[in-house]
Structure 1
Amino acid sequence: MSSKTSAKSADDESPMPEAPSSPALSLDAWLARLERQHPVSIDLGLERVARVGRRLGLLDTPVATRLITVAGTNGKGSTVAMLEALARAHGLSTATYTSPHLLRYNERLRLDGQEADDTTLVRGFERVEAARLSGEPVSLTYFEAGTLAALWIIAQRQPELAILEVGLGGRLDAVNILDADVGVVTTVAQDHAAFLGTDLENIGREKAGILRAGRPAVLGSSVLPASVRGVADALGARVYMLDEQFHRCEDADAWAWEGIDANGHPLHLKGLPDPGLPLDNAATALQALTLADVALDEMVCRKALAEVTLPGRMQWLSNWCLDVGHNPHAATYLAARLAERPCTGRRIGLLGMLADKDAEGVIDALAGSLDAWVAVGLDGERARGAEDLAATLESRGQRVLHRAASPAEGADWLASELREVDEALVCGSFFTVAEVLSWWKSRPQRREHDEIRNA
């Protein structure tokens, strides 16, 4: 397979310009600069990013031997994490690009399982800036510049497998300037309504925009809108859908996977461990990987799934659970996982959400799992204050114990109230989880057994 690229058109500007010779900026300085250089933070469309990508040479040759692109409303991060773990366990060199990050920008780009260092990222930003200014200047958003820098870095390494997570939507996301060898759509639900709308058929059509003619399309849910399958069929993409072409079966101690390879031959793996992440996504990762020409070894898959971790997704720190779920679909899954884990004390939610998210839907999905709540405020242009969130909680019949201006302040208060038999759930936003995770790591007194684990 080859990861050829799309959005090609005539461009008479020279590709792969040299980086500027001015003194190097630090990574933090580059990120601050990128945040200021475009008038809006999200500006969907491929014309600008494709023009710069062409100047960088990204649309001329494959960036990796095989390329998998992952889109969807929920489950992208866990699918990417399991794809990476499985591929590395099978001996492949890898590069993964995801967003957003929790604590460090470096989390977004992983090369052979390791976060890219500052020097590597800065070099990428320098090359993108040189390309952006080569010929007629092109304005790029923070995400677009970061995506192009990551793709350029990946292209320099030429890994055996690159795995790219779509940031928003699919069809018009910056990642979609490249043609994937395997396209994955995990789930489709309402989120980012200001950009994608609320009609699930239209949202599904946007997510399916990452699929390519004649290439495998792995659909990680059996309840996707008809538009997803419609786009795949119109393209002539080969569809592999959960509960149709591939399956997962659970039993008391393990689970099994059944799928098919690119030639239609059946595949079976049994005795697989629970990775602490959605099994639908694990099954999807296995199917996508075999379609990327990886011969799956059962023992290797068991080891990889037993060891995979993903911060911020059902991440347990002692009796605190951190999960970035921020829409009703994700909250419903979270409630189901909590139901599998009895709590002998109280279970208290620390909730912080952005103003453009469906707080009512998230609260309703989690209401039966929690005894009370701490409402916290978030900063920024899409901020929702603690008082507003508390009022929403109370309007849904929920008990609010405390209001705090920030997630860290809320965590401080909650830590003083929790008993050993109690549990805390931190959720509602990447921003909420990131701040509490940073708060956790900086606490002056930490018990030795407070270690990150998935459950």
Structure 2
Amino acid sequence: MDFDQLFAKRSTHIKPGLQRIERSYEFLKRPAAGIPAALIGGTNGKGSTSGFLWYLLALNQRNIGLFSSPHLAAFSERCQLSVTPCDDGMLADVWRELQKELPADLYDELSFFEITTLLAFRLFQQKAADFQVLEVGLGGRWDATNVSDPLISAVVSVSKDHQEYLGHDLMGILDEKLGIMRAERPLFWGNSGEVCAVPGYREHLLQKAAKLNVPLFEAGRDFGYDEASELVVINLPNLSFCSLPIQNCLRATPLFLRRNLALAAAMYHYLQSTQIEAGWGPLNEIWPLLGEGQAAAPVTLYGRSQRLLIPTERGPVRLILDVSHNPDGAQAFLTGLTSRGLAGPMPALVCILKDKDMNRILDVLRSRLHPVILFGIEHERAWQPELLDARHRDLPFFSNFTEAWNAALVRWNPADAPWAVCGSVLAVGRILQHFDSAPKDGISLERCLSGDW
């Protein structure tokens, strides 16, 4: 399906403000406004947290909508329904309806992400979703998803990224992320990211929440993952205590995913206990079903330390793909490798987009990954070797993944160690397509988390 006309709107870049989408949202009579929602933001971790919450809700055999971004391979990955499969053709039909219904002056002023958000709302309304999990695209306060009216919100982490839009001040970025809070409705704080090293950040967070009378639930105090016992522990005020084991397919998850799972589980526990009608299973009853992982995985868990086994003439190559695209995400990826017992140097193929903090990302990755081969992709945001600082120009750079892959097969022994492939959501998506492992294949959660090796 050809979405080129829609993709062309990405060239307009980011348009701050909610006025444009609010005008179209109201004209369309607020699609999906009557469907309960959770809104999840943050610099890193919002995709996997959204995916885990979606999966927990879907275990109730309800039709749950998941809106996420960006996509890895197919545009329709951005809109997932647990009961009603969504493909590019279905989303294209909704897009055509939207173009016909919206007056030209309203449609033309919308950005790519604003249109995509409206497509998700309209799709979830048409397919009678029972709940919708919405992942914030960028920032929070001015993100198109913020026209929704969520029952609960979450900010998973706050670090520097998209600095051309969000600035360089971590406290300012925190304020942008906290813009998804709703007065007198809970905010779940993942207690993660570079902002946690800023003096006074927690006091600022508490003040912001108190100003809106927002119940604040914090990782490490009200919920979290306990490494020593390998338990997800939830102790929300006035709700039943939960202690849940990491078992079955969940045992394959790295540390950062376990922490994001704990956040999603806490959100589900709160929703099921206080916010949604009877008939949704208590967390401790559906938890064993999560570990079995038989249903299709949310697309937002692909490329999160995902393991693939690739046959080659020199023997099978064990790959770990990760979309880490900022320094904090790169560090979480490396920490996750250690938590999974993958110690020692690991070869890596790395691709980073030119508008990212490429040199700092490489500083982090090279602290553990060695040897490293760099590769580019065909895209307007592709990086070039001359953009690198001198300290990273010793690394071999290939114009595309195929050339880098062939060079790695010559230089590295597949039997020695797994190979990492990381640095860019866009690149990981291309590689999943290259190896015929795109998300729309409907791989089970168990297969997505445990991989092929």
TM-score under structure 1 length normalisation: 0.83
In structure 2, C-alpha distance between the alignment counterparts of 1:441 and 1:391, rounded to whole Å: 36
Return the offset for 1:337. 1.6
AA at the equivalent of 1:431: L
Distance 1:135 1:427, change over 3 A: closer
Aligned to 1:246: 223
- Please state if 1:298 is matched with 2:284: yes
Identify the range of structure 1 (336-345 vs 104-113) with the bigger mean alpha-carbon deviation.
336-345
SS at match of 2:434: helix
Which of 78, 83, 93 aligns to 1:123? It is 93
Which of 414, 419, 422 aligns to 1:424? It is 419
In structure 1, C-alpha distance between the alignment counterparts of 2:402 and 2:110, rounded to whole Å: 33
Aligned to 2:264: 285
Aligned to 2:244: 270
SS at match of 2:221: coil
Aligned to 2:156: 186
In structure 2, C-alpha distance between the alignment counterparts of 1:124 and 1:256, rounded to whole Å: 39
| 1:76-87 equivalence runs, <5 A | 76-87=46-57
What are the Cα deviations for residues 45-97 of structure 1, in whole angstroms up to 9, with x where unaligned? 211111111111116x6241x20010000001110111111111233320000
In structure 2, C-alpha distance between the alignment counterparts of 1:177 and 1:190, rounded to whole Å: 24
AA at the equivalent of 2:234: E
Distance 1:452 1:282, change over 3 A: closer
Aligned to 2:185: 215
What are the Cα deviations for residues 368-391 of structure 1, in whole angstroms up to 9, with x where unaligned? 321211111234333311454484
Return the offset for 1:99. 0.4
Q: Which has the higher helix share?
A: 2
Unmatched tracts of structure 1, length 5 or more: 1-26, 443-450
In structure 2, C-alpha distance between the alignment counterparts of 1:409 and 1:371, rounded to whole Å: 18
In structure 1, C-alpha distance between the alignment counterparts of 2:358 and 2:167, rounded to whole Å: 17
Do the aligned partners of 1:147 and 1:174 also contact (CA within 8 Å) in 2? yes
Do the aligned partners of 1:124 and 1:153 also contact (CA within 8 Å) in 2? yes
- Please state if 1:335 is matched with 2:334: yes
AA at the equivalent of 2:233: W
Distance 1:346 1:214, change over 3 A: closer
AA at the equivalent of 1:260: L
Aligned structure 1 segments of 4 or more residues deviating by more than 6 angstroms: none
Do the aligned partners of 1:257 and 1:268 also contact (CA within 8 Å) in 2? yes
Unmatched tracts of structure 2, length 5 or more: 273-279, 310-317, 438-446
Aligned to 2:275: none
AA at the equivalent of 2:38: I
Return the offset for 1:436. 1.8
Give the CA RMSD over aligned residues: 2.5
Identify the range of structure 1 (192-201 vs 384-393) with the bigger mean alpha-carbon deviation.
384-393
Return the offset for 1:295. 4.8
Aligned to 1:234: 211
AA at the equivalent of 1:421: D
In structure 2, C-alpha distance between the alignment counterparts of 1:63 and 1:109, rounded to whole Å: 18
Return the offset for 1:145. 0.9
Do the aligned partners of 1:85 and 1:305 also contact (CA within 8 Å) in 2? no
Distance 1:282 1:136, change over 3 A: closer
Do the aligned partners of 1:37 and 1:139 also contact (CA within 8 Å) in 2? no
Do the aligned partners of 2:161 and 2:326 also contact (CA within 8 Å) in 1? yes
Identify the range of structure 1 (210-219 vs 32-41) with the bigger mean alpha-carbon deviation.
32-41
AA at the equivalent of 2:144: A
What are the Cα deviations for residues 207-260 of structure 1, in whole angstroms up to 9, with x where unaligned? 1111101111111116654444433222111111112222332346x4231232
Do the aligned partners of 1:89 and 1:301 also contact (CA within 8 Å) in 2? no
State the identity %: 27
Do the aligned partners of 2:268 and 2:283 also contact (CA within 8 Å) in 1? no
Return the offset for 1:428. 0.8
In structure 1, C-alpha distance between the alignment counterparts of 2:106 and 2:54, rounded to whole Å: 38
What are the Cα deviations for residues 150-192 of structure 1, in whole angstroms up to 9, with x where unaligned? 1111122332210000010011011111111110110000000
Return the offset for 1:345. 8.5
SS at match of 1:378: coil
